[in-house]
Amino acid sequence: MSKVKRVNINAIVPTVILGVITILFAQCGSPTPESEPQIAIPETFTNLCSSCHGTNLKGETAQSLLDGSWQFGSRTGDLFRSIKFGHPHFGMPSWGSVLDDEQINSLVDFLIETEKQLGITKPAIPKEIETQDYLVNVETFIDSLDTPWGIAFPDENTVLITERPGRLRVVNNGVLNSEPVAGIPEVIAMGQGGLLDVVLDPDYSSNGWVYLSFSHGIHQPEQEDTLISMTSIVRGKIKDNSWQEQQIIYQAPGQDYLPASHHYGGRISFDNQGYLYFTVGDRGNSELAQDLKKPNGKVHRIHADGSVPESNPFYGQTEALNTIYSYGHRNPQGITKHPETGEIWEAEHGPLGGDELNLIKPSLNYGWPLITHGINYDGEIISEVVRMEGMEQPALYWKPSIAVCGIDFYSGDLFPKWNNQLLVSALRFEEVQLLDIEGDRVIYQQTLLKNAGRVRQTSPGPDGAIYVVLNKPDKVLKLTPKS
C-alpha cells in the first residue's frame, strides 16, 4: 500500500523548525529522540498505517498515535472498531476486509502497550478553551465523585449530583457534603444500571419534590435467584440530608423486567404544562421498541404524581400502554425541553453509527430497529433501509456514533450568543457539542470541549455557567466566559 507524495513546502518548513528546536533542547540537556525507548513496530502497521500515521506513529497526513488523545474513543473496543470499520468521511479507511479480527486485536494491543511503554497519558484538561464565540475558562467544580450521572440545581448555592453506584450527593456553596443523602431507594448497580437522573419539580420552590430514575431489581428465587431489573421513577423530598416522603411514580409490571443490565434510558424532563417525560431503552431487546404493549424503547408521559394524562396518544387503547408518548427508540439517554417553544427533544444511542437527535411528537414511530443509520457492533446489517413510510427521520444523526448522552438547552446571561442552543454530551467522543437549531433543523454545530473525559451530562446552572459531568475522570467542570 503505497502513496505517491508531492513535496509540500508548508510541510518542510515546520520540519526544519522542529529540527532546530530539537538541537536547542539537546544543548539544554533534555532527552533527544535517540534517547527515547525503541518501539518494535509490527509489519502490519508499517504496511498499512505508517503512510498516514507516520513510521514513528507521530502522525503525518493523519493524527499522531502517541499524544494520549483518541479522536474516535480510547477504549479497546473503540480502537478495534475504528480499525475494522474505519471512518471514511474522516479519512480513516476500513481494514476489515484486509485484516482478520486476530490481526486487528494485535494492532490494538500494540497501540495500547506502546502508550504504556512510553508513559503516554491523556493531556491535562485545559484551563481555557477557544470557541467560535467566546474564550472560556474551564475549572473543576467538584471532584472525588464515583461515576456521576445526573445533575440538578435547587438554587444558586445548591447542586444535586447522582452517582451511578447508588448515591445522591449534595454540594452546598461549592463544597461536597461528605455524606450522601440517606434513604434513597436501593438500585441495581450492574452494567449500565444504577442511580441515573435527578430532576426537580417545576414547582420545586413551593413543593420540594425531587425525582430520581434508577434501575430497580427483583429477585426470582425459582430461577436460581436470578436478578431482573427495569427502569423506575420515584420522587421524594430532601430534609436534613435524608430522603423522605418517597412516592413511586413509575414502576413496570414484573413481567417486563429483564436479566439484561443495559439500555435503561433513564432521563427525565418536564414540559411547560407540567407533564413529566421519561425514557426507557429497549433493554437490549430491540423488537420490543415496536411493541406498544411493552415499555421498552419508548418515551413515556405522565403527570407529576404518576397518574396518566387522558390526552396521551394511546390512552384507553387495550393494545397499547397508556403512558407511551412515542416509540421506536433504542437507548434514549438524553431528553430536554426547549426553553422558548416548550418542545421536547430526545437523544439516543445508536448501534455502530446512527446516534440520533429527535424532536418528539405524540404517537410517532422513530423507527428502531426497522430503520437505522447504524450497523451492529460485529458489522452485521440491522436493517437494509434507513427510511420507511410512517417512521420519523432524526433531526440529526451522528455517524460514527459519538455515544450521545445527556442534552440540555442553554439559557443564561453568561453566554448570550448561545441562548436556546443545544448542549450535547458525548461519551465515546469525549466532547461537548453545541447545536444551533432553527425549528426542527440543526443548522450549525461546533465542538466546545474535547478529550476532557467521557461526558455524561452538560447543563447550564442558575448562575449561567455550564456544568459538565464527566466520567473518567469522575468530576464536574464549570465553564464561564473569560473576562
Catalytic residues: 263
Angle at 280 between CA 79 and CA 215, to 5 degrees: 85
Which residues make Cβ contacts (< 8 Å) with residue 111, sequence separation at least 6?
65, 79
Which residues are bridge partners to 215 per DSSP? 231
At 258, the amino acid letter reads L
Residues 438, 402, 265, 192: what is their CA dihedral angle, to the nearest 10 degrees?
Answer: -160
Q: Cis (ω within 30 of 0) for the bond into 473? A: yes
From residue 296, alpha-carbon distances to 191, 385, 419 in Å are 17, 22, 33
Please check whether residue 291 is in contact with residue 298, taking contact to mean a CB–CB distance below 8 angstroms.
no
Which residues make Cβ contacts (< 8 Å) with residue 103, sequence separation at least 6?
44
Give the C-alpha separation, 151 to 163, whole Å. 10
Give the C-alpha separation, 456 to 427, whole Å. 6
Which residues make Cβ contacts (< 8 Å) with residue 214, sequence separation at least 6?
166, 185, 187, 188, 193, 194, 195, 196, 231, 232, 234, 266
Give the C-alpha separation, 469 to 73, whole Å. 17
Which residues make Cβ contacts (< 8 Å) with residue 1, sequence separation at least 6?
47, 48, 51
Which residues are bridge partners to 220 per DSSP? 226
From residue 392, alpha-carbon distances to 122, 329, 338, 363, 388 in Å are 39, 11, 20, 11, 8
At 73, the amino acid letter reads G
Which residues make Cβ contacts (< 8 Å) with residue 421, sequence separation at least 6?
409, 410, 434, 435, 436, 437
